[in-house]
Amino acid sequence: MVTRHLMLHQLKTVVLPSLPLICEEEVCRPLPPTIRLYYDRIFMENLSEYLYTDEAKEEKKKSERRNLLVSIQQLRRLWNHPILAETNSLSEEVDYSNYSEVLSMSSQCENEPNYLIKKITTSQCLESWKILELMNLLKEEVIEVPEAKCVIYSQWTQFLDL
């Protein structure tokens, strides 16, 4: 069976009314160990100070709150795929050998919109546990209902490119 991919760039609010009832399944998976190290590093450098503050420090400047939101976004992007995370905060003391090439693509993605499509290999694409889980769910669905269609929403179009 041949599966065809079709990329539609439409707003969720426009498409949602014409779709059948939503079938949601929440899946929780741990991060791979090397990515977990990077995740913990970002958290400790950027977010821990906000969780462990006393009442005297509660009045944060707007810029500091913005930095907090940027850090949370970076963690979310990292969870989706290492390519989507910014590489600025990579530390030399943590071994990212399995992901170094993938992570180095992050800055290129911002400069050239179709960079991922041209450069990423299948094995690099599959370094995301989210993508692997999506593939497993889609395989199960195709077996049950061969003519089934699937709509995947993502906040990041780069994730859809993967």
Write out the chain's pLDDT in tens, 162 residues.
Answer: 555 555 556 677 787 788 777 777 777 777 777 778 877 877 777 766 666 555 545 555 666 667 777 777 777 777 777 666 654 444 344 344 555 555 555 555 556 655 555 566 666 666 677 777 777 877 877 667 777 777 666 666 666 655
Q: Report DSSP state, residue 21.
A: -
Domain of 82 in residue numbering reads as 30-51+61-86+95-161
Asked if residue 120 is part of any domain, the answer here is yes
Asked if residue 108 is part of any domain, the answer here is yes
Asked if residue 118 is part of any domain, the answer here is yes
For residue 91, what pLDDT is reported?
A: 39
**Total count of domains within the chain:** 1
Asked if residue 56 is part of any domain, the answer here is no
Determine contact, residues 102/82, Cβ cutoff 8 Å.
Answer: yes
Task: Compute, in degrees rounded to 10, the torsion defined by CA atoms 146, 129, 161, 114.
Answer: -150
Residue 126 CA to residue 3 CA, distance in Å, equals: 17
Asked if residue 119 is part of any domain, the answer here is yes
Asked if residue 21 is part of any domain, the answer here is no
For residue 51, what pLDDT is reported?
A: 63
Residue 119 CA to residue 114 CA, distance in Å, equals: 9
Asked if residue 144 is part of any domain, the answer here is yes
For residue 48, what pLDDT is reported?
A: 65
For residue 87, what pLDDT is reported?
A: 46
Asked if residue 150 is part of any domain, the answer here is yes
